[in-house]
Amino acid sequence: MNALSRRLWTLAPSWRYLNNGSFGACPRAVLKEQDRWRARLERQAVVFMDDELPGGLRRAAADIGGFVGARGEDVVFVDNATTGANAVLRSLPWRRGERCLLADTAYPAVRFAAERLAAERGFGVDYARVPARLGGPEEVVQAFERALRPRTRLVVVDHIAAPTALVFPVRQVARLAKAAGARLLVDGAHAPGQIPLDIPAVGADYYTGNLHKWLFAPKGSAILWARRSVQDGLVPVVTSNNAGQGFLEEFAWTGTRDPSPWLSAPAGLAFHRRLGAGRLMARNRALAWQGASLVAEKTGFSIPGPRSMYAAMVPVVLPRRWGSGRPGAERVHAALQKRKVEVPVFPVGGELYLRMSAQAYNDLDDFKALARVLLSLL
Ligand SMILES: Cc1ncc(COP(=O)(O)O)c(C=O)c1O
């Protein structure tokens, strides 16, 4: 599996970059398109903001929506998945004593947002304890089922969990939430462009997903989708000049900003399509597994979950003597960076997980180089 010419990206040649999961690399062609949008804005900003931007955003939403099975009218742009999740959390009319349920591996910013808001509004936060090492997706569903309470109002589930890289069975969790009378927000920060995605078919009420990780859009590009029946009252974190004018209008203007990451998201999608879309996702998934298996075989480290639950990110568990918690993770990460390898290390359940990503610009040589570095650290 050869990487596509790395010249299509501006990646530093001296690094082995195996962390598309944290921050994807934006292709040169997409950055150029972003420059073109910025140039258009700066020629006549009033005409651009008043006359060109609204239509441009709607066309971009229709294009991206089409890729994820959604109608453009149900999709708005936000800066990132963190902002999308915050908007949903803050928009719900929480009542005292209600509960919000998240997985214990939920993204820290989303957990903190729920906890802060809970303290302000008087609701409670519960965590589904998803086993760090598990045999199959049913264990995720069981963890959510056990943690549901009679007053659970909102369930938040990651589509792909950040530290463990597990693809969660979001459809089953959606059925569970619905049966319990709770709303469901899917945090799909890693999903668009990494796995085939039909958002309405998930059965959630809200879905937020980044375009700047796996869909090659510039940084600051994400979507928030909402089922039509819950769009009323769903408002951005920053109050809009268009307050009270409805879902699309409110999110279309949250103060003066550079809208080029959103307007050039279709160029990211076009790039993804040029590389094969479904074929690219399948290729990355196969490479991530092959690469992680190679690393596991050379080092003796283990892959903690079943192959069927991973997409283009796969972790291995590091030896216990390398440490645990944040300090351990930072130490190992720093040692890898010193050797010009970029791979994130996460503390999970008392162990350290090294999460490898495979994107179009990676090939097996990157994983071989990582294995050599790990062996030298052993
Ligand atoms: C599950 C999950 N949610 C949210 C985020 C935050 O993404 P962003 O920084 O684009 O808001 C991440 C980032 O990796 C993530 O993994």
- pLDDT > 90: percent of the chain: 98
Report pLDDT for 1. Answer: 58
- Is a pLDDT exceeding 80 seen at residue 2? no
Kindly state if the Cβ of 166 falls inside 6 Å of ligand 1.
Answer: no
Give 97-112 as a DSSP string.
Answer: T-EEEEETTS-HHHHH
Q: What is the mean pLDDT of residues 145-159?
A: 98
Kindly state if the Cβ of 194 falls inside 6 Å of ligand 1.
Answer: no
Report pLDDT for 121. Answer: 97
Ligand 1 atom at minimum distance from 162 CA = 16
Both tokens of 231, joined, read: 């769009």
Ligand 1 atom at minimum distance from 82 CA = 11
Could you tell me which residues are beta bridge partners of residue 253?
A: none
Kindly state if the Cβ of 361 falls inside 6 Å of ligand 1.
Answer: no
| Residues 6 or more apart whose Cβ sits within 8 Å of residue 343 | 18, 19, 333, 336, 354, 355, 356, 370
- Is a pLDDT exceeding 90 seen at residue 300? yes
Report pLDDT for 4. Answer: 73
Kindly state if the Cβ of 190 falls inside 6 Å of ligand 1.
Answer: yes
Residue 223: enclosing H or E segment and its boundaries? strand 222-226
Q: What is the mean pLDDT of residues 201-211?
A: 98
Residue 144: enclosing H or E segment and its boundaries? helix 138-147
CA atoms in the 13 A half-sphere facing the CB of 289: 13
Q: How far is the CA of 40 from the centre of ligand 1 (A)?
A: 30
**pTM score, whole prediction:** 0.98
Kindly state if the Cβ of 79 falls inside 6 Å of ligand 1.
Answer: no
Angle at 165 between CA 206 and CA 359, to 5 degrees: 95
- Is a pLDDT exceeding 90 seen at residue 65? yes
Distance CA 181, CA 169 (A): 19
Task: Evaluate whether 291 touches 364 at the Cβ level (below 8 Å).
Answer: yes
Q: How far is the CA of 50 from the centre of ligand 1 (A)?
A: 31
| Helix, strand, coil percentages, rounded to 5, for the chain | 45, 15, 35
Report pLDDT for 94. Answer: 98
Compute the mean pLDDT over every residue in the chain, rounded to the nearest whole number.
Answer: 97
DSSP class of 2: P
- Is a pLDDT exceeding 80 seen at residue 50? yes
Ligand 1 atom at minimum distance from 22 CA = 14
Instruction: Single out the residue of 97, 78, 98 nearest to residue 88, CA to CA.
Output: 78
Q: How far is the CA of 85 from the centre of ligand 1 (A)?
A: 10
Distance CA 343, CA 321 (A): 19
Q: How far is the CA of 109 from the centre of ligand 1 (A)?
A: 8
Kindly state if the Cβ of 82 falls inside 6 Å of ligand 1.
Answer: yes
Distance CA 211, CA 193 (A): 8
Instruction: Single out the residue of 211, 320, 311 nearest to residue 269, CA to CA.
Output: 211
- Find the range with the poorest average confidence among 1-15, 16-30, 246-260: 1-15
Task: Evaluate whether 268 touches 343 at the Cβ level (below 8 Å).
Answer: no
Task: Evaluate whether 156 touches 101 at the Cβ level (below 8 Å).
Answer: yes
Domains parsed from the chain with CATH numbers:
6-18+276-377 (3.90.1150.170), 30-271 (3.40.640.10)
Kindly state if the Cβ of 98 falls inside 6 Å of ligand 1.
Answer: no
Q: Whose CA is nearest to atom 16 of ligand 1?
A: 162
Kindly state if the Cβ of 189 falls inside 6 Å of ligand 1.
Answer: yes
Query: In what order do the strands lie in the sheet containing 313-317?
Result: 313-317, 351-357, 345-348
- Is a pLDDT exceeding 80 seen at residue 3? no
Instruction: Single out the residue of 315, 313, 312 nearest to residue 282, CA to CA.
Output: 312
Q: What is the mean pLDDT of residues 341-369?
A: 97
Q: How far is the CA of 195 from the centre of ligand 1 (A)?
A: 16
